[in-house]
A and B are shown apart, each in its own frame.
Chain A
């Protein structure tokens, strides 16, 4: 009898297995790695495989832990890193704003279209999110270059006589970011707007509210969760974006994702790259928690 109950206690129940499998996977391959990044950000770059020094050593019964804060002080001292963080935040902020301004009317139009048309429109918005960012950004390289289609068109109309330098400037990065992330703004907004109760708007208009007034005072506040989810889905990944500034940006484009990539792949300085990632995560932790909250509400079906 005792043995049986012992076995039952050790072998996981179905409920535990259902929770445990995804939990363990995510813990091992998503959460644990952050602690390793944190650890290696305190190491020193070294000519070895892997290219960093050990943080703790245990020799002759002496445990030595050496924390190297040099990577972090270097981030503070070097203007390049600071400028890159600020550049990323600025880029993310303004492109999120642009996406919201363009995406909200689009989501609104889809939500108020006929039911049959809605599915097609949502599909049209969703399709680009499955297509490589790389390819969609590449398409813009051909359009924006000095002898590309846009300049050719503008010169043909006679608006400009010299080709404009757009590719390899911040303007090109803005175009690329808004282009790539617009669907991520529209989809959560649509999912929210389509659930709204139209009778509220009718009641407001019966009581004499203007269309704009009821839009501003009813629709916008009700879509708060959608706005938060959409903005975070754009803002957070853009802060760490690498592909778009690398392909469309120029020397003036300083973004932290690009700097991290260069430190890691070109300089092979893993500890500095780790420190960059830790600081980026520290900046993003508040937006990520905001996003998770809005997702949790959405997943539990609460409003």
Chain B
């Protein structure tokens, strides 16, 4: 019991360590004083000032657009990759494929960013595309590394699934793609939503990849924030940062809420099925149930 309380203490301290700085940031974004370290009363003027900053608003719109495209593409690509990794067990180059899927999770961003930029430059010389770098190139970069996160989340879910349902559908003559869309997809839908929102948040946050592969006139929100932050702490930036924090917490909350609801629905459905089969089975003795009763 002693060690248990030590680890609990660490947990509380760790959570404080994680959340206190963000809380302080949010509180100081309501500081009326121009000096960021002096408290000058509550005010929302920095938030109001943001609306007039057209350059910043433009970059917000651009970042949101890229994040939407990224979420859709990363879910599609990541789900395919997760499906291959969990269901297609044997094919040539499987080890290489597994490495390619998981390596973007840890690859330092400066390396990925530099290498993608050099690829785009080489492609522009060779086949004339992309003529200029911007939203599309940032989207490709984000999709590649977000797909890895989606693949991890979705493959965890695919492994938990009861294979017998898919097998039953195949035995009844359904084509593999039909099984995938009608049975597998609905069962893994919560993790697809989680992966999508995760990709959205990751894409919205990325600075390094976007800095490498963006072109002139396509600065994203993190790039805008970074160039301001380099010069020191500013009240306007406190306000922007707080808004981003708020957006991400909301997204996280929704993911949690929806996946919890889906989980509860699933449990209820399973319970219902068990009850029904139990009601049927009292007519004829069930060997398996009898065994459980015996050991208990």
With both chains docked as a complex, state the minimum distance between the C-beta of A176 and any C-beta of chain B, in angstroms.
10
Q: Chain B interface: which of A1-9, A26-34, A74-82?
A: A26-34
Q: A109-B8, A261-B110, A288-B107 are in contact. Are A22 and B233 (CB under 8 A)?
A: no
User: Is residue A124 contacting chain B, with contact meaning CB distance below 8 A?
Assistant: yes
Main DSSP-derived SS at the A contact region = helix
Q: Is the CB of B91 within 8 A of A19?
A: yes
Chain A residues whose C-beta falls within 8 Å of the C-beta of B24 in the assembled complex: 139, 142-143, 149
Asked if residues A281 and B98 are in contact (CB atoms below 8 Å), the reply is no
- The reply to whether A102 and B10 form a contact with Cβ atoms under 8 Å apart is yes
> Chain B contacts of A18 at CB under 8 A?
80, 83-84, 88
Smallest CB separation, B133 vs chain A (Å):
12
Give the total of A residues in contact with B, Cβ under 8 Å: 94
Give the most central of A19, A243, A281: most B CB within 10 Å.
Answer: A19
Binary interface profile of B, 97-134, with partner A (CB < 8 Å = 1, else 0)? 11111111111111110111011011001000000000
Q: Does A53 contact B (CB under 8 A)?
A: no
* Closest residue on chain A to residue B28 by CB atoms: A142
Q: Can you show 20 pairs from A to B with CB atoms below 8 A apart?
A: A18-B80, A34-B115, A50-B125, A102-B10, A130-B248, A130-B252, A132-B207, A142-B24, A142-B233, A179-B17, A183-B18, A211-B2, A240-B107, A243-B226, A261-B110, A277-B114, A295-B152, A296-B98, A299-B86, A299-B152
B108 touches A239 (CB 8 A): yes
Most central of B21, B86, B177, B225 by chain A CB within 10 Å? B21
Q: Are B106 and A128 in contact (CB under 8 A)?
A: no
Q: Which residues does chain A contribute within 8 Å of B252, judged by CB atoms? A: 123, 126-127, 130
Q: How far is the CB of A205 from chain B (nearest CB, A)?
A: 12
* Distance of A30 Cα from B77 Cα, bound (Å): 14
Q: Give 4 nearest A-B pairs by CB, closest first.
A: A240-B108, A33-B115, A132-B205, A105-B10
Q: How far is the CA of A140 from the CA of B206 in the complex (A)?
A: 19
Taking a contact as CB atoms under 8 Å apart, the answer to whether B119 and A32 are in contact is yes
Contact B3 A211 (CB under 8 A): yes
Determine the distance from Cα of A183 to Cα of B101 in the docked complex, in whole angstroms.
21
Cβ–Cβ contact B36 & A131, under 8 A: no
Chain A min CB distance to B221 (Å): 9
Q: Is the C-beta of A173 less than 8 angstroms from some C-beta in chain B?
A: no
Bin the interface of chain B by size: 35 or more
In this assembly, does B169 line the interface, its C-beta being within 8 Å of a C-beta of chain A?
no
A143 and B119 alpha carbons, distance in the complex (Å): 40
Chain A residue nearest to B175 (CB atoms) is A14
B residues in contact with A112, CB < 8 Å = 4, 7
Q: Report the nearest A residue to B82, measured CB to CB.
A: A299
Bound: A273/B241 CA distance, A: 31
Interface of B, helix, strand, loop or mixed by DSSP: helix
With contacts A105-B6, A138-B229 taken as known, whether A292 is within 8 angstroms of B99 at the C-beta atoms is yes
Contacts A130-B201, A130-B251, A299-B98 hold; do A243 and B144 have CB atoms under 8 A apart? no
In contact, B77 and A21 (Cβ under 8 angstroms):
yes
- Kindly list chain A residues whose C-beta atoms are within 8 Å of the C-beta of B238: 142
- Say yes or no: B118 contacts A139, CB within 8 Å: no
Query: In the complex, which of the residues B104, B110, B222, B245 contacts A30, with contact meaning CB atoms closer than 8 Å?
Result: B104
A164 CB within 8 Å of chain B: no
Residue of B nearest to A238 (CB): B108
Q: Contacts of B226 on A, CB cut-off 8 Å?
A: 134, 243
B66 within 8 A of A: no
A156 at the interface (CB under 8 A from B): no
CA distance A237 to B104 in the complex (A): 10
The complex places the Cα of A73 from the Cα of B155 at a distance, in Å, of: 44
How far does the Cβ of A45 sit from chain B's closest Cβ, in whole Å?
Answer: 14
Is the Cβ of A142 less than 8 Å from the Cβ of B36? Answer: yes
Chain A residues lying within 8 Å of B109, measured Cβ to Cβ, are 237, 240, 242
Q: Is the CB of A23 within 8 A of B100?
A: yes
Residues of A within 8 A of B98 (CB): 292, 295-296, 299
Contacts of A289 in B (CB 8 A): 99
Instruction: Provide the bound-state CA to CA distance between A240 and B109, in Å.
Output: 7
Does A251 lie at the interface of the complex (its beta carbon under 8 Å from any beta carbon of B)? no
CA distance A19 to B212 in the complex (A): 29
